Amino acid sequence: MWYIEWVKEILLSFLFLINLAEGDQIPVLNQYVLNAVKSMPRGGGYEASQRAVNRLAASVTVKEGKVHQDIKGVGASFCSGATYLVFLRVIEDLRASGSLKLSAQSLARFADLNQEDGEGVFGRWNANGPGTAKLFRELRCGSNFTSYEKALPGDFMKIWWTDEIGGKERGHLVVYLGMEGGQVKFWSSNQPGGYGVKRVPKSKVRRVLFSRLEHHQRLNSAAKLSPKNQFLADMLRKRFTWKQVVKECRVSER
């Protein structure tokens, strides 16, 4: 009956809000992210170019209803591509556990990496500025905030090294792992080595934006996303203010 399935969905949502690891304050979905990070390769080099994007796009396919990543021969990687692979692995792990159901249309959109900045799912994630945060806001699948005190390992984190946002920015997209003696610890594809853990002094970080996955069932609304988000598409060439980012992504600064 329809109401039985509805009750199941409510119970699943409730279970994922409960901290199941005794003595640990990391939410379950963050633990999925951290487990996905552990499954990623190490090294491989760093390359932020269209060639690297094309290689990554060719390595992700849908076979028999599952997203497959064949990244052994892809070569050098880049930060937004690395974190997106982690995101895809989280989605597949949630589907394997039975806690997430995706339509064929939504699955196809997640697996399509042949996207320009601002287009589809990956094009949003891969855009300059707050790509992940804007995607989470559009899907309503998580929260965006700036507080280190609130941040937890397994949050996605956009770092800005300068005040520039958009076409002239210098940034990095990572999985946050915590603070160690005044240093920010994270995982991503980092210069020059590629996939791995890195630490940088907090004093070198100009601005941060954390995005936490919280409502995994809403990922199925990916099929309803507009073909392009112009705000993110314009990030490639235009300059934006932090005030615009806060408004567009519903960022909590408390």
What are the tens digits of pLDDT across the range 218-235? 999 999 999 999 999 999
Is 214 within 8 Å of 137 (Cβ atoms)? no
Tokens of 190: 């980092």
Q: Which of 13, 157, 14 is nearest to 86 (CA)?
A: 157
- 2 falls in which pLDDT band (50, 70, 90)? very low
Residue 202 to residues 2, 187, 199, Cα–Cα distance (Å): 50, 15, 9
> Any residues with CB less than 8 A from the CB of 227 and at least 6 apart, and which?
119, 120
Which band of pLDDT confidence, cut at 50, 70 and 90, is reported for residue 1? very low
Structure tokens at 184: 């920010």
pTM for this predicted structure: 0.90
Model pLDDT, residue 73: 81
Pick 72 or 175 by higher pLDDT.
Answer: 175
Kindly state the tokens that stand for 73.
Answer: 């021969």
Residues 6+ apart with CB under 8 A from 133: 144, 158, 209, 211, 245, 249, 251
pLDDT greater than 80 at residue 40: yes
Q: What pLDDT does 254 receive? A: 76
pLDDT of residue 198: 98
74 neighbors 56 (Cβ within 8 angstroms): yes
Q: What are phi and psi of 143, to 5 degrees?
A: -115, 155
Alpha helices by DSSP H, the chain: 2-17, 28-38, 50-59, 79-97, 104-111, 122-125, 131-139, 230-233, 242-249
Query: Quick one: average pLDDT of 7-33?
Result: 62
Quick: pLDDT tens for 142-161: 999 999 999 999 999 999 99
The number of residues making up the chain comes to: 254
* % the chain with pLDDT above 90: 88
Helix (H) or strand (E) holding 168: none
pLDDT mean across residues, the chain:
92
Band the pLDDT of 24: cuts 50, 70, 90: low
